[in-house]
Chains A and B, each alone.
Chain A
Amino acid sequence: MSSVQIWTYLFIALSFGLYIGIAIWSRASSTNEFYVAGGGVHPMANGMATAADWMSAASFISMAGLIAFLGRDGTFYLMGWTGGYVLLALLLAPYLRKFGKYTVPDFIGDRYYSRTARMVAIFCAITISFVYVCGQMQGAGIVFSRFLEVDITTGVIIGMTVVFFYAVLGGMKGITYTQVAQYCVLIFAYMVPAIFISIMMTGNPIPQLGFGSELTEEYGGGYLLDRLDNLSQQLGFAAYTEGQRGTQDVFFITAALMFGTAGLPHVIIRFFTVPSVRSARTSAVYALVFIGILYTTAPAVAAFAKTNLMNTVNNAPYLELPDWFYTWENTRLLTFEDKNGDGLVQYLADPAMNELTVNRDIMVLANPEIAGLPAWVVALVASGALAAALSTAAGLLLVISTAVSHDLLKRSLMPEINEKQELFYARIAIFVAILIAGYFGINPPGFVAEVVAFAFGLAAASFFPAIVLGIFYKRMNRQGAVAGMVAGFVFTAAYIIYFKFVSPESSTAANWWFGISPEGIGTLGTLINTAVALTVSRLTPAPPRDIQQMVEEIRLPGN
């Protein structure tokens, strides 16, 4: 066993032990504790939990790699996934906290006094969360298989067992406090290699400043970003710091990710766990600060990794490459095909001459090895990636469980069940959800990875306008909200399905409406939802008096 593996086992055993310890300490004894952790979570703890809930395997493993290949356009992930918090903090969180129930379908169902609206919301919440959770389980499986060389099935089962422990026992209470621990693990694991690499390449210990600094002598001096631009252009790629995609496409993708972020149920419900409206606002500040630490580091990691990769690999003799190259070749995440038979690696923009294909995920996973960092740092990344995957999975599973036990059973189909039975059903629901998610983690349907990105578009086009209009437009009624949600969801889903599955070959900027790619169409869906909702609500009767009073009530401060 290599020293990296010994360190990895050690870190994973320690962190998993910690999570299970927390699970046993924070068992839930009532539905209130199971759904919203008793409503007494400190804003700072909730901020950390929200950050861990939010930053998934995709943020941790894939995002820096995606940015490394997108250059400046990678901003739609950076701004989209942080700017949404401004919307969440200003337009949703305080009012939903004041409303003071357990779930998003709760709000939609009560505000629009309608079982249909509640059912539509339950359907959207479960679809979005399931799509998402499968991706997390897959992420956990990849980490296990790469770092510990166990097969993906075993990896997923280990991950499921740990989540099972704290989610089934503790519900939101267990999940919240494990997420706090998971945030600490993941941010430490992300920052340590980034700081190391920043010091090595630029002498500046702060990565956010480092990638705007000059390279050290050893790396040839000059500004890092200038070097990266030059290297990219020499190999036939576009300059790193310039935009490549259409401006309106970047605009629409950013907006779709922002609206989607603010409309994702597993993030929204985190704000139900704090004691007051005021703490909901404060906790949004903490959440964005904790998220911002990783999100401002990611573009630095991307720039470092891209520079390093091009420096190390291009025109290097294949047989003299460093060890990490062969390790990652074994996982097929990195492939080399010597097309011109000269024994050298050519990494070029031209697909006919390019000999190296790099999977984006290895930018973070292999980065410490590429930079030649010690074994314990490499191992740290593995436990950080697992923390990111498991914390998000748990938050999503809770949404599914509450949608079934609370919204579907207690509030719709079986209102006569008592609290004990409801809690029992909640545990059963989360258990079944874990099994299904685990199954899809082991046998991933090909479309999951694709669809995860679209979950945002769907959340944006369905929930975001329905909730915001419900708070800011008193006249919005049942008919308007349901018509809007259905129109937004169906339009967005249809556009995505057409370009991704029915006719993928026609998915080019020339055929897209207004040059908007399927990733960005959720923005148009949001606008359609809003327009339909406003029009229909004007043509139908105003909501009842008590509903209007409820809206006035949630707009005011105090409990």
Chain B
Amino acid sequence: MHDDHARTYWKSNVRILTALLTIWFLISFGGGILFADFLDQFRIGGFKLGFWMAQQGSIYGFVVLIIVYVVWMDRLDARYNSRKNSNPPPGIDASSSKDGQE
């Protein structure tokens, strides 16, 4: 009945995951391992940048990624729920659900 909503929801979900996991890969495997030697030519304070990414920066990045994920998914869930409720399945009288309790 809500197949369309469900499909849209799932597609958006997969898009969010792809975007976040790409960043996840870039900051950890990219910044901390593959490009660490290259990044080492830059410095922040006493840290070489590649070393800092490997031992500090990537972890801060992970926390930010999960926070962004939670916020985006909350929004996506809210949109899905409101669409689903504004389009009740046939056979249910829209006015009866307003009363809440039977």
Contact = CB atoms under 8 A, between A and B. Distances in A.
Interface of A: 67, 72, 74-75, 78-79, 82-83, 85-86, 89-91, 94, 208-209, 211-214, 223-226, 241-243, 247, 250-251, 254-255, 258, 278, 281-282, 284-285, 288-289, 292, 295-296, 299, 472, 552, 555-558
B15 to A, nearest CB: 12
Contact of B28 (A254, A296, A558): A254
A79 B32 CA distance: 8
Nearest to A80: B28
The 6 closest A-B CB pairs, nearest first, are: A223-B46, A75-B54, A212-B46, A299-B55, A212-B47, A557-B77
Contacts of B29: 251, 254-255
Interface string B22-59: 00100011001110110010001111101110111011
Contact of B13 (A208, A211, A288, A555): A555
A86 B24 contact: yes
Given A74-B55, A85-B66, A86-B62, A241 B10 contact: no
Given A79-B54, A90-B17, A288-B66, 15 more contacts: A72-B36, A85-B66, A86-B62, A86-B65, A91-B17, A94-B73, A213-B46, A242-B40, A243-B37, A247-B33, A254-B29, A278-B74, A285-B63, A292-B62, A555-B13
B21 interface: yes
A281 B34 CA distance: 30
A281 B32 contact: no
SS of B interface (majority): helix
A89 B66 contact: yes
B74 A251 contact: no
SS of A interface (majority): helix
B28 A288 contact: no
A296 B56 contact: yes
Nearest to B3: A552
7 contacts: A78-B54, A90-B21, A251-B29, A255-B29, A288-B66, A296-B55, A296-B56
Contacts of B51: 72, 225, 241
A224 to B, nearest CB: 6
A258 B58 CA distance: 13
A214 B55 contact: no
A12 B51 CA distance: 37
Nearest to A284: B66
Nearest to B65: A86
A211 B55 CA distance: 11
Nearest to A287: B66
A446 B96 CA distance: 69
Nearest to A303: B55
A250 B47 CA distance: 20
Given A72-B36, A213-B46, A278-B77, A557 B9 contact: yes
Contacts of B56: 208, 296, 299
A557 B70 CA distance: 13
Nearest to B16: A90
B30 to A, nearest CB: 10
Contact of B62 (A74, A213, A288, A472): A288
B65 A79 contact: no
B33 A250 contact: yes
Contact of A292 (B37, B48, B54, B60): B60
A288 B63 CA distance: 6
A164 B39 CA distance: 50
B13 to A, nearest CB: 7
A92 to B, nearest CB: 12
Contacts of B55: 67, 72, 74-75, 78, 296, 299
B48 to A, nearest CB: 6
A83 B52 contact: no
Of B21, B58, B59, B70, most A-chain CB atoms within 10 Å: B59
Of A241, A278, A281, most B-chain CB atoms within 10 Å: A241
Contacts of B63: 285, 288-289, 292
